[in-house]
Amino acid sequence: MSVVLVVAAHPDDEILGAGGTLAKHVARGDEVHALVMSEGASSRYEQGAEQTLRDSARRSAEKIGFASIRLLDMPDQRLDAVPLIEVTQTLEPFVFDLQPETVYTHTPVDVNTDHGIVSRATWTACRPYSTPWLKRILAFETPSSTEWAWPLPDSGFQPNWYVDVSETLERKLEAMDQYETELRDYPHPRSLRALEERARFWGSHIGVEAAEPFVVLRARD
């Protein structure tokens, strides 16, 4: 058994980017924890929506089988107003306490500023001399966000690691279905149908039924 941590900016990012992979970790006996930096509601919804998202996140976590999910209250869509060192120091205690062997987080290449900041803060919190137990950091895409990054050279998501989620794709979709306020109608990238099609698309890259793509940020034996 190994300890796995996913660090996400908002509720549902953890499922959109790595839900099938995290379910696969759980299926093989790994201890999976989720850390969500922002409640994800303050700039997009009416007052009171935070509790709805928190409830959705907990139901979703149960579908995947997370050992824990922590929902912090950093400012949604305003993390760029917080010094990066503060974001890093907020998540560091969780990294040091859990001592994960594997960490998943956002790619720094993303139209959503919060995603990029969380990626950089996670990278900083997981610096090698501070986390000798850590073996790998992988960055995931966030459908409806990562693909809308600046269309400039070297600014796109270019995966170099794929996880076969053929056996856990349905679990991912069930978990995402708990986020009723975040789902959209097809062909929006955050529709269940589009998420399934996306997994099939990535699976075709490696000759399997469904896959999730990642960028290996750092890895060692």
Q: Contact, 20 vs 14, CB < 8 A?
A: no
Q: How many structural domains are present in the chain?
A: 1
Whether residue 129 has pLDDT greater than 90: yes
Whether residue 47 has pLDDT greater than 80: no
Q: Is 35 helix (H, G, I), strand (E, B) or coil?
A: strand
CATH number of residue 34's parent domain: 3.40.50.10320
Q: Is 37 helix (H, G, I), strand (E, B) or coil?
A: strand
Per-residue pLDDT tens digits for 62-80: 999 999 999 999 998 889 9
Q: How confident is the model at residue 39 (pLDDT cuts 50, 70, 90)?
A: confident
Domain that holds residue 14: 3-219
Q: Which of 90, 146, 91 is nearest to 113 (CA)?
A: 146
